[in-house]
Amino acid sequence: MCRHLGYLGAPISLASLVMAPSHSLYEQSWAPRRQRHGTVNADGFGVGWYVPSVRPEPARYRRSVPIWNDPSFASLAPTVSSGCVVAAVRSATAGYPADESNAAPFTFGRWLFSHNGRVSDWSQVRKLLPVDTEVHESLAPVDSAALFGLAVSLWRADASLGDGLVGVVSAVLAAGGGRLNLLASDGSSLAATACGDTLFALTLADGVVLASEPYDDSPAWQEIPDNSLVEVDSAGLRVTSIAL
C-alpha cells in the first residue's frame, strides 16, 4: 500500500506539509508506521496542488524515484504554497512497473486522484472504462489509473467528488473487489474512502488533513472507520458510512 495525503485550508508550503512533520509523508516513504501491506514506499511519488489565481487545473509533479532521492523536489517544496494539495508515495503492486506514469496523483481537468490499495482483477475493471477515453492517464499500466478513469467518467456525468469515489468502489466490488482507499480533489474540496486500509483526519485551526497515517504524534488525529467516505469542503469535514 502506498501512503497518501490531502490538505484543504490556508495556504501552506509543500515542504511544511509533506516534509517537515516528525513522521511526514516524506519519512513514510521509508518508515511508515501504520502500513498494512508492503514495507517501504520507494517506487515513485507525486504531489499535486492548486493555485487558483493562475488556473483552475492543478500543477502536478511526479517522479519514478523515491522521494528521498529527488533533491529537485526538496529544493522547490519550501517555495511553493497552496491551500489544496494531494500527495502520495508509492509502493508498486507486483506486476505494475515503477514508472512515473503510474505514480499518483493522476490528473485530468481540475481533478487530482490517488489510490492506496489494489484491485483484484484489473482486466475486469479496465473493461468498465470507455474505449475512446480522452483521459489518457487512465490508460497507464497500473490498476489505480483505471480507477481514476472510472472516477472521471462519474464526475463528468455530474457526480459529486465523494459520490464519484463511492461509485468507483461499488463498480470495483462488482468486478472482483480489492482494497480501495481513494483520495481526490477538485481544488475546492477533498474526498476520500477508507476501504481496506488505514485513513486518518486531522482538523487544524486553519485546515483539514486526510492521510493514510498520522504525520505526527498529535492526539487530534481521528481514525476513520473502514467502509467510510470522508468529504472536506469550506463547511468542514463529514464522515459517512458507505452502504455496500
- 158 torsion bin: left (phi>0), alpha (psi -120 to 50), beta (else): left
Window 115-134: contact mask with ligand GLN (x via CB under 6 A): xxxx----------------
Residue 166 C-beta: closest distance to ligand GLN, Å = 19
The CA dihedral of 67, 68, 71, 74, to the nearest 10 degrees, is 70
Residue 161 C-beta: closest distance to ligand GLN, Å = 20
Q: Quick one: 12 or 182, whose CB is closer to ligand GLN?
A: 182
Residue 88 C-beta: closest distance to ligand GLN, Å = 8
Q: Residue count at the site for ligand GLN (CB under 6 A)?
A: 16
Residue 97 C-beta: closest distance to ligand GLN, Å = 9
Q: For residue 60, which of 48, 72, 73, 75 has the smallest C-alpha distance?
A: 48
User: Helix 161-173 to helix 143-156 angle, to the nearest 10 degrees?
Assistant: 130
96 contributes a contact to ligand GLN by CB under 6 A: yes
SS3 content of the chain, % helix, strand, coil (to 5): 25, 30, 45
Q: For residue 67, which of 36, 115, 30, 92 has the smallest C-alpha distance?
A: 30
- Considering 2, 145, 168, 194, which one is annotated as catalytic? 2
Q: Quick one: 70 or 233, whose CB is closer to ligand GLN?
A: 70
The number of C-alpha atoms within 13 Å of 222 and in the hemisphere containing its C-beta is 14
Verify whether residue 84 is a known catalytic residue: no
Cis check for the bond before 58: say yes or no (omega within 30 of 0). Answer: no
Q: For residue 179, which of 152, 154, 199 has the smallest C-alpha distance?
A: 199
Residue 19 C-beta: closest distance to ligand GLN, Å = 20
> Which listed residue (5, 80, 89, 92) binds ligand GLN by CB under 6 A?
92
Stretch that binds ligand GLN, among 22-30, 69-77, 88-96, 233-241 (CB under 6 A): 88-96
> Which listed residue (7, 61, 90, 198) binds ligand GLN by CB under 6 A?
90
144 contributes a contact to ligand GLN by CB under 6 A: yes
Maximum CA extent, the chain: 48
Q: Which residues bind ligand GLN (CB under 6 A)?
A: 1-2, 38, 90-93, 96, 102, 115-118, 142-144
Catalytic residues: 2
